[in-house]
Amino acid sequence: MAQDLAPISPATLRRLPDYYHYVQRLRGEGHETVSAAEVARDLHLDPTQVRKDLAATGIVGRPRVGFEVAEVIEAVEQLLGFNDASDAILVGAGNLGQALLRYDGFKSYGVNILAAFDSDSRKVGLRIGGREVFPIDKLQNLVRRLHVRLGILTVPADAAQDLAERMVSAGIEGIWNFAPVTLTVPENVIVENTRLYETFAALSQALVKKARSARLG
């Protein structure tokens, strides 16, 4: 089944979860098919781009009909591993870490957070979102024992590199990094950065410019 497709471009990959959310809503509304033009209109994309993105997942549409909603869901789940949950740990039970622990939509994205770790002894022992907070020195053992591959890093900037290294040496293969720091890890370890301020920069600048031009009349 899992025929080998060409590698999927980063740009397409970023859009796949958007399609996924969108077609799930369609399914909830009872729609069975959707055309690229409809997707494009509702997600503010170019129809050709939608066709190309969907083609990259391996699904095939039908002229005059469109794409099967169920197939799109299935394809994205297969490709991104949203169907079978993989275990994860979370390091850094601060504000953002706690929010992610409490957030229960993760399971539908194939993420099953087993436990959290924090260096603050006042946080150790707490239960947040149903997971216990352990001290950092338990990290290595738990990750090894349970073969956890994914780590979510939500610590302050100055602690991030050190903790990333501990995660890696414990066996973590992919780090979802929320710290505003560029991590240096061995090349077999995958890092993806989610920096809240990257998107905020454009918005902030646009508002600054608007205010300035309004002031100048």
Partner DNA sequence: TAGATTGTTAATCGATTAACAATC
Q: Which residues bind a second copy (CB under 8 A)?
A: 2, 8, 10, 13-18, 21-22, 25, 42-44, 79-82, 86, 95-96, 98-100, 102-103, 109-111, 149-150, 157, 173-174, 176, 180-182, 184, 190-208, 210-212
User: Considering the complex, what minimum distance in angstroms separates the CB of residue 65 from a second copy?
Assistant: 24
For residue 43, the one-letter residue type is L
- Asked if 206 is part of the footprint of DNA (rule: CB under 7 A), the reply reads no
Among 5, 9, 102, 211, binds DNA (CB under 7 A): 9
Q: Which does 141 bind (CB under 5 to 8 A by kind): a second copy, DNA, none?
A: none
For residue 99, the one-letter residue type is A
Query: At CA 193, angle to CA 15 and CA 209, rounded to 5?
Result: 75
How many angstroms separate the Cα of 26 from the Cα of each of 12, 48, 55, 78, 211?
Answer: 20, 20, 19, 19, 39
Between 53 and 118, CB nearer to DNA: 53
SS (H, E, C) 142-187: HHHHHCCCEEEECCCHHHHHHHHHHHHHHCCCEEEECCCCCCCCCC
Which residues contact DNA by CB under 7 A?
Answer: 9-12, 35-37, 45-49, 51-52, 54-55, 60-67
